Amino acid sequence: MSIDTSTDSESGLFADKELVASGRRQRLLRGAAGSAVFLVVWQIAAMPVPTYLLPTPLEVAQAFAVELTAPAVFTVPLLDAEIGLTRMLVNLSDSLYHYIPGLFVGGAAGIAFGIALGWSERLDDAITPVQRVLRPIPPLAWIAFAIVWLGVNHQGAAFIVGIGAFWINFYNAYAGVNGVPESTKEVAASLGVDDDLTMIRKVVIPRASPEIMTGIRTSIGQSWMIVVAAELFGAPGVGFQIINAAQNLALDVSVAYMFVISIVFLISDGIFQRVESRVLVWRE
């Protein structure tokens, strides 16, 4: 997913930089043109049909503005405190209340298991059969457990998100640790590393960090998909709003919330991409 490789060519000559800059300008122009065409086609397609079938871009923008500004109260779960926000921010906060715990707990557990199984052949042998059977099960299929154990609420939705984040991070960390060359570990051993923990901390994790970072980044995106799916069952949040508004024939509001997900994803992915390129400056 390296879209913008031109920005990190620091060593280029001035001529190169100019070329890069003009290339970027051209790309921006093309992007703007493409977006404009998209909006026009959408507008033309939507004009003859009623809003509840297909809202126009303008109607969506209006709905977005209304949702963004209409005051609403957010009840902080577990704390019972109330905060005055706007409708959109309340829904977003609700979603984040299961997105963030699910992503962090599931992701951290996935990374930990991935490293453990990637490192220990014995553990790998013991757990692989179970892992093979469980992994193909889509996170949403666990909704039954989420409902009976936790209910259709933040915890239930966080549970589903956590399962999704777990597998993505598990698999990437596992592959990364498995891919650490034997020779790299041998070099470390020859330089005095003689216990597993030091080897994992100083050699295996840094060497596997590109794969681990890929897992985190993938799960940041995938977890939003799972959030929306989990909310279709009734947990509060952005995903629930998409369905709820559509059932009230307010498709402009639905689409506005679809864009909320897109925007939040782009922001979080952009931030993480920066973190990633910082952490992995050493990568070829």
Partner 1 sequence: MARMSQQPTDGKIVVDGIDKRFRSESGPVDALRDVNFAVEEGEFVCIIGASGAGKTTLFRIIAGLEAASEGTVWLDGEPIEGPGTDRGMVFQEYGLFPWRTVLKNVTFGLEERDLDKQARLQRAREMIDLVGLDGFENSYPKELSGGMKQRVGIARALAVDPEILLMDEPFGSVDAQTKQRLHEELLDIWSATNKTVLFVTHDVDEAVTLADRVVVLTGSPGSVHEVVDIELDRPRSRTDDAFADYEQQLRDAIE
C-alpha 170/C-alpha 178 separation (Å) is: 12
Return the number of the residue (58 or 187) whose C-beta is nearest partner 1. 187
Q: Which is nearer to partner 1, 8 or 18 (CB)?
A: 8
Closest approach of partner 1 to the CB of residue 268, in Å: 25
Using CB under 8 A, which residues numbered 128 to 187 contact partner 1?
A: 183-184, 186-187
C-alpha span between 113 and 107 (Å, rounded)? 10
Is 273 exposed, middle or buried, given 0-12, 13-18 or 19+ CB atoms closer than 10 A?
A: middle
Q: Name which of residues 245 to 284 contact partner 1 (CB under 8 A).
A: 281-284
Cα–Cα dist 110/199, whole Å: 20
Which is nearer to partner 1, 188 or 264 (by Cβ)? 188
Closest CB to partner 1 among residues 101, 206: 206
Binding mask 181-220 for partner 1 (x = CB under 8 A): --xx-xxxxxxxxx---x---xx--xx-x-----------
* Residue 8, token pair as written in the block: 């990190």
Q: CB of 283: closest distance to partner 1 in angstroms?
A: 7
Minimum CB separation of residue 113 from partner 1 in Å reads 23
Min separation Cβ 118 and partner 1, Å: 17
Q: How many residues bind partner 1 (CB under 8 A)?
A: 21
Least Å distance, CB 173 to partner 1, is 16
Q: For partner 1, which is the closer residue by CB, 5 or 190?
A: 190
| First vs last C-alpha separation in the chain | 15
Least separation in angstroms between CB 278 and partner 1: 13
Within its chain, how far is the Cα of 87 from the centroid? 23
The smaller minimum CB distance to partner 1, of residues 143 and 203, is found at 203
- Spatial distance between the Cα atoms of 284 and 175, rounded to a whole number of angstroms: 19
Nearer residue to partner 1 within complex by CB, 274 or 283? 283
- Smallest separation, CB 74 to partner 1 (Å): 42
What is the number of other CB atoms lying within 10 angstroms of the CB of residue 17? 13
The CB-of-207 to partner 1 minimum distance in angstroms stands at 7
Q: Which is nearer to partner 1, 207 or 268 (CB)?
A: 207
By CB under 8 A, name the binding residues for partner 1: 183-184, 186-194, 198, 202-203, 206-207, 209, 281-284
